[in-house]
Amino acid sequence: MSLFVHYLASIDNSLAGELGALSHPDRDLIAARGGLLVASACSAAGMGEFMADIRASAGGLVLAAAVLALVAACQSAPAEAPADAAPGEFAWPTSLKVVGDGYPGPRAPCRRIGESTATIDFLDDSAALVGCPSVAEADKLGGKVLATIDGVTLISVPNDRAATPGDGDGQGDALVAGTNYNAMAQIRCAGHKGAAAAMCDAGVIRSGTDGTTVEVMLPGGVKRAIFFNPDGSFLTFSTAEADGTAAMAISSTRKGDTTIARLGSETYEVPDAFVTGD
């Protein structure tokens, strides 16, 4: 309960002392809920749950002043932003877990958003949770607007989202802005360092008669390159002795219009449309 006690003590030391004097079950319940509230940057949902716990506890009257002080602090304090944000850059709030350096490609203004207490209700395996610094940038992605948290517009972008140039939509095989990729999307992946099945960001480089390369972005900055023949059939993986992948078995199977490529225990499901495009 140290997070909430520390926060409460920063407002009023005597209130932190009152919390410590409560009976063990009440103290732990209130401290746990208060800690979640502070960690979630005073979200409305967290505040409601915290108030409910206060009312249900034996120490509700004793801590009424603490609740008022906490509400005041939440309403007056601006969302904490990273200290290293460059002048003119959007300061992403610490209440959100920002993933990567751009969505749908590097240096794009929006970002993938990961799981946190503020976003857990918005996560969906069939879509990417994306945050944009403005409604105008969010509208460009064509997703569903979910909420605005600390100045960030959250949208849900389906994994089979509206086609972009090079996705088989008849618009040509242009590059995603700021990248070397003809298209970017999420594909199903599993097995890297024992990871469970999930969705991984991927980019495709279509080189005509030289075939196609799909690069899958993995944790730790690792990229897994999968090569395809000019006709879209699976060819092989890029492997190396240094990381042990050269000794891993390589295979592939087909499932409908998808290639399931395997490297050792790793699997990657790559749709034909992503490989071949226009």
Whether residue 220 is predicted with pLDDT greater than 90 in this model: the reply is no
Helix (H, G, I), strand (E, B) or coil at 113: strand
Q: Please report the pLDDT score of residue 41 as a whole number.
A: 43
Buried residues in 127-159 as b, exposed as e (16+ CB within 10 A): bbbbbbbeeebbeebebeebeebbbbbbbbbee
Which residues, 6+ apart, have CB-to-CB distance to 137 below 8 Å? Answer: 109, 110, 153
pLDDT digit string, tens, across residues 133-192:
998 888 887 788 999 999 999 998 876 553 344 444 444 467 787 788 889 999 999 999
Nearest alpha carbon to residue 227 among 265, 263, 257: 263
Whether residue 259 is predicted with pLDDT greater than 90 in this model: the reply is yes
Calculate the alpha carbon distances from 194 to 52, 143, 265, 267 in Å. Answer: 40, 31, 8, 11
| Dist CA 42 CA 55 (whole Å) | 18
239 vs 40, more confident: 239
**What's the token pair of residue 30?**
């209130």
| Dist CA 28 CA 114 (whole Å) | 28
Nearest alpha carbon to residue 258 among 176, 167, 154, 187: 187
pLDDT band at 61 (very low <50, low <70, confident <90, very high): very low
Whether residue 265 is predicted with pLDDT greater than 90 in this model: the reply is yes
52 vs 171, more confident: 52
User: Is the Cα dihedral 204, 210, 211, 216 positive or negative?
Assistant: negative
**What's the token pair of residue 233?**
């059939």
Q: Please report the pLDDT score of residue 111 as a whole number.
A: 87
**What's the token pair of residue 51?**
């108030």
| Dist CA 208 CA 210 (whole Å) | 5
Beta bridge partners of 198: 189
Residue whose structure tokens are 């909430």: 4
Q: Please report the pLDDT score of residue 56 as a whole number.
A: 57
Amino acid at residue number 116:
S
